[in-house]
Amino acid sequence: MLREIRLEPGQLLTPELLARSGGISAEIADGAAQIVDEVCLRGDKALLEYTERYDGAALDDIRVSEFEIAQAYKQVDDELVEALRYAADRIRDFHSQHVSESWTITDDEGVVLGKKITPIERVGVYVPGGTAPYPSSVLMNVLPAHVANVKHIAMATPPSSDGTVNAATLVAADIAGVDDIYKIGGAQAIGALAYGTETVDAVDKIVGPGNAYVAAAKRYVDGDVGIDMIAGPSEVLVLADEDADPRLIAIDLMAQAEHDVRAATYLVTTDPTLPGIVSEELDKLLPNSTREEITRAALTDNSLCVICETIEDAIAASDVIAPEHLEIMTDNALDVAEALSHAGAIFVGAWTPESAGDYVAGPNHVLPTEGTARFSSPLTTEDFLKKTSILSYTRKGLKRDQHAIEKIADAEGFWAHKEAVNMRFSS
């Protein structure tokens, strides 16, 4: 089931060998752009038409009411409500640990320089529907915005064909403190959040994962509003040696593969016998899965086992993949984690399954995918804050810098830049 490649000592893994689905097709990009443009042109009427066409729901109102939220609590098991509240507390506590604050410094000439930190005013959170509900995605996207003191948070999520929104998703939104919830999905939801309609107020930034049309729409509106990232299919890499438990590796690969048929799973190991044993464990476990068809398809089409000679070669291979989630099941796992450079999140040791990070650990599960961990970071409160530079010169300070400013202005051919300094001393 698992595709294998063996690297020679010192051989580098090449990106061409990876099981990645690639970018957004031109057809999807064009389709998403047309939908967004139509929403801009026709507002709520377009939203209602697209919701009926793609979700099968004929709605009179796209806004979720207080009554619907109250009913959602009656439909959700009390233990799940408590679990969501527990997760919310953990996520809030983690993200509260690193909130930037405004600062200034004053130099010897009395010049004041600094950064003014202010929250984004309006944020839109997209929560996917599709094959599964995602209350955890609500918490992970909304709570960092709340910690950053965003003034208004709206949420868009596709309805079921009967016009309802998943009850657990609504409960999570209420726990997290969402201000407005809309029953809209797909590219049309991104268009509405970005540009507004009669019912939906435009936001300043859009966050949250979605399907290829959602990703394409986010890319299309980027620049008119801010976005968090273009999320690709979910992925996990398990870095393991001969002491790792094959059964735990198998179930952790399945935990990622069950997300979507496009989910990617990687096993990088120094034990050449491990991939075969893990495959045997997968064959035993798959029939028990409630999402067997999806999980099996992902493992069959998008998995890769990389066999390396040394742990150093395994670390290098992992860094080429730069996975969204990276689990380390090796001897001296903390040392291995220190040696790695590229991953969205690192899960150290056999007692740290990726599912803990998905739900309750606290760090965000909105992570860079498809190798973008080489230059991108998880979603944090920083994504909901704006940084504004502060400058306040004194006469003495400007006199000190006058010559340097003039020389650079001359070099760039900007006469007025130079005179803007000169005139302050000649008047």
* 3-class secondary-structure state, position 309: coil
**Burial state string for 134-171 with b = 16 or more CB within 10 A and e = fewer than 16:** bbbbbbbbbbbbbbbebebbbbbbbbeeebbbbbbbbb
Q: What angle do CA 181, 214, 14 make, to 5 degrees?
A: 140
Q: What does the pLDDT look like over 135-190, one tens digit per residue?
A: 999 999 999 999 999 999 999 999 999 999 999 999 999 999 999 999 999 999 99
CA–CA gap between residue 133 and residue 129 (Å, rounded): 6
CA–CA gap between residue 131 and residue 173 (Å, rounded): 19
Read off the pTM.
0.93
List active site positions.
324-325
What pLDDT, on the 0 to 100 scale, is given for residue 11? Answer: 85
Q: Report the share of the chain in percent with pLDDT over 90.
A: 90
What pLDDT, on the 0 to 100 scale, is given for residue 22? Answer: 62
What pLDDT, on the 0 to 100 scale, is given for residue 23? Answer: 74
Q: What does the pLDDT look like over 377-390, one tens digit per residue?
A: 999 999 999 999 99
- Helices 44-55 and 26-42: crossing angle in degrees, nearest 10, is 140
Name the nearest CA neighbour of 265 among 285, 226, 287, 239.
239
Q: Enumerate residue ranges in the chain where pLDDT < 50.
A: none
Among positive and negative, which fits the CA dihedral 258, 259, 262, 265? negative
What pLDDT, on the 0 to 100 scale, is given for residue 318? Answer: 97
